[in-house]
Amino acid sequence: MVSIKEALEIGQEEFFLAGNSTCAGCGLEIALRWAMKALGPNTALVTPASCLNVVVGLWPKTAPNFPFMNMAFAAAAAAATGVSAAFEVKAHRFPGKVWEKMTTLVFAGDGGTTDIGIQGLSGAAERNSNIIYCCYDNEAYMNTGIQRSSSTPHGAITTTTTLGKERYKKNLPRIMAAHDLPYVATCSVSEPLDIYEKFKKAKSIEGCKYIHILASCPPGWGIASEESVEIPRLAVKTGSWILYEIENGVLKLSKKSKPLLDPSKRAPLIDYLSRQKRFSKLSEKTLIELQERLDLEWSKLADELSCQEHNQ
């Protein structure tokens, strides 16, 4: 993995210009900043309705210093398929130019990915469209004012789940992996260098790549802006958010999550949940249930990994 020292040397260019309208401490901005550092200027970004197409700024000014396309809510993956096809047409017609080096990137929120955008995304995945689809997951419709999405975790308070969400978070990375994609990865904004590495790898792979980033949202999660890195880090430390890659069907835990296969290395889930106002209505009983669920998920993961090892 790239070190900060190396990153300081190679990653000085900023593509999403400062002075934009992201909230102070926005997790999305950390995710995009590091994704773009990895992908570089020859990237065309498509974003559906989301915080991102608002924070870019108002006409006639904008923050992204690279080709950027706004898209309707359900349509980002499909539009990206078209963009990528056009780049292929242009690469064929104008060989030796920038067109053969273009990366088509989708940056979409969890609503635009796990809810309204899932059909288009699933279509792009099945076609293996040559795109990188990234979901920055702040676990609710933050742009419209914090409404629940299918990616909102159990118990979280939103403006449409005022008593805490009853259902559980949709596991989209695993749904995407079920499409037999060449590359699926999860990231957290607490690990920018891991984001950098995974986007570098995704860029080098032909076909449809899916990256799911846990991205903190201070107003939506009920945390202070300075906690925007610390809280998602706790999500990783407690094992609540698992960092992994699935490359051609092979699951590999990432550096920060791998040690957590040993349950004693996992911080208790309450360390993560109790720090956020959105979980303030969780009962003790629910907390215990959630910890049990999480432990079960990890033991299933351990089984899967050992089974995978056995078959290799």
Partner 1 sequence: MVEAQQDIIQKKETKIIKGNIAAAYAAKSARVQVISAYPITPQTTVVEKLSEFADKGEMPGTQYLKMESEHSVMASIIGASTAGTRTFTATSGQGLFYMYEMVHWAAGARLPIVTTISSRGPAPPWNIWADFTDVISCRDTGWMISFASGHQEIYDDILMSYKICEDHDILLPKFVAYGGFTLSHTSKPVIIEEQEDVDEFLPPLPDEKGWPHIFLDPERPMMHGNLIMPSGFYNEFRLKIHFTHTLAKQKIKDVSTEFEKKFGRSYGNGLVEEYKMEDAEIAVLNYGELAMQMEDAVDDLRNEGYKVGCVKLRYFRPFPTEEIRQIAKKVKVLGVADRATAFGSPTGGPVSSEVLAALYGSGTSTIILPIVMGLGGREVGLEQQKNQLKVLNHLNETGEFPKDMIEGTFWDGLLEVD
Partner 2 sequence: MNKVKWKNICEDKDKRPEVQEYKNWQELPPIPISLPIKGSIGTTGDWRTFKPVVDRETCTKCGICWMYCPEGTILRNEQGEFEVDYIYCKGCGICAKECPTKSIEMIRESEV
CA angle 109, 81, 132 (to 5 degrees): 50
Paired with 309 in beta bridges are: none
Among 25, 109, 155, 164, binds partner 2 (CB under 8 A): 25
Does 145 help bind partner 1 (rule: CB under 8 A)? no
Q: Is 137 an interacting residue with respect to partner 2 (CB under 8 A)?
A: no
Using CB under 8 A, pick the residue from 35, 49, 52, 56 that binds partner 2: 56
Considering the complex, state which of residue 41 and residue 263 has its C-beta at the smaller distance from partner 1. Answer: 41
Q: Is 168 in the site for partner 1 (CB under 8 A)?
A: no
Q: Which run of H or of E encompasses 203? A: helix 192-204
Taking the complex as a whole, the smallest distance from the CB of residue 81 to partner 2 amounts, in Å, to 22
* Number of residues engaging partner 2 in binding (CB under 8 A): 42
Q: Report what 174 binds from partner 1, partner 2, none; CB cut-off 5-8 Å by kind.
A: none
43 binds, among partner 1, partner 2, none (CB under 5 to 8 A by kind): partner 1
Q: Under a CB-based contact definition with an 8 Å cutoff, are residues 228 and 25 in contact? A: yes
Q: How far is CA 137 from CA 124, 186, 213, 257, 265, in A?
A: 19, 10, 6, 18, 25
Looking at residues 26 to 45 of the shown chain, list those that interact with partner 1 (rule: CB under 8 A): 41-44
What amino acid occupies position 158? Answer: T
Which partner in partner 1, partner 2, none is near 110 (CB below 5 to 8 A by kind)? none
Separation of alpha carbons 111 and 147, rounded Å: 9
**Total residues contacting partner 1 (rule CB under 8 A)?**
52
Residue 250 touches partner 2, criterion: CB under 8 A: no
Q: Per CB under 8 A, does 2 bind partner 1?
A: no
Q: For residue 29, state whether it binds partner 2 (rule: CB under 8 A).
A: yes
Those residues with Cβ within 8 angstroms of residue 11's Cβ, 6 or more apart along the chain or in another chain: 37, 196
Q: Is residue 16 close enough to count as binding partner 2 by CB under 8 A?
A: yes
Q: Does 283 bind partner 2 (CB under 8 A)?
A: no
User: What type of residue sits at position 24?
Assistant: A
Kindly tell me which residue out of 1, 61, 92, 119 binds partner 2, with binding defined by CB under 8 A: 61
Residue closer to partner 2 by CB (options 14, 292) is 14
Asked if 54 is part of the footprint of partner 1 (rule: CB under 8 A), the reply reads yes
Burial call 183-199: b when 16+ CB within 10 Å, e when fewer: bbbbbbbbbbbbbbbbb
Nearer to partner 1, 48 or 192 (CB): 48
Q: What span, in angstroms and rounded, lies between the C-alpha atoms of 35 and 203?
A: 10
Pairing of the two strands 244-247 and 250-253: antiparallel
DSSP assignment letter at 114 = I
Q: Residue 39 CB, nearest distance to partner 1 (Å)?
A: 11
In angstroms, the CA 79 to CA 96 distance is: 25
Please report whether residue 259 would count as binding partner 1 according to CB under 8 A: no
Q: Please, are residues 76 and 46 in contact by the beta-carbon 8 Å criterion?
A: yes
| Beta strands, E only, 254-308 | none
d(CA 217, CA 94): 43
Question: In the complex with partner 2, which residue's Cβ is closer, 21 or 306?
Answer: 21
Site residues (vs partner 2, CB under 8 A): 4-5, 7-8, 12, 14, 16-27, 29-30, 33, 56-66, 192-193, 218, 224-230
Residues lying near partner 1 in the complex (CB under 8 A) are found at: 41-44, 46, 53-54, 56-60, 62, 64-72, 74-90, 92-94, 97-99, 102, 119-120, 122-123, 126-127
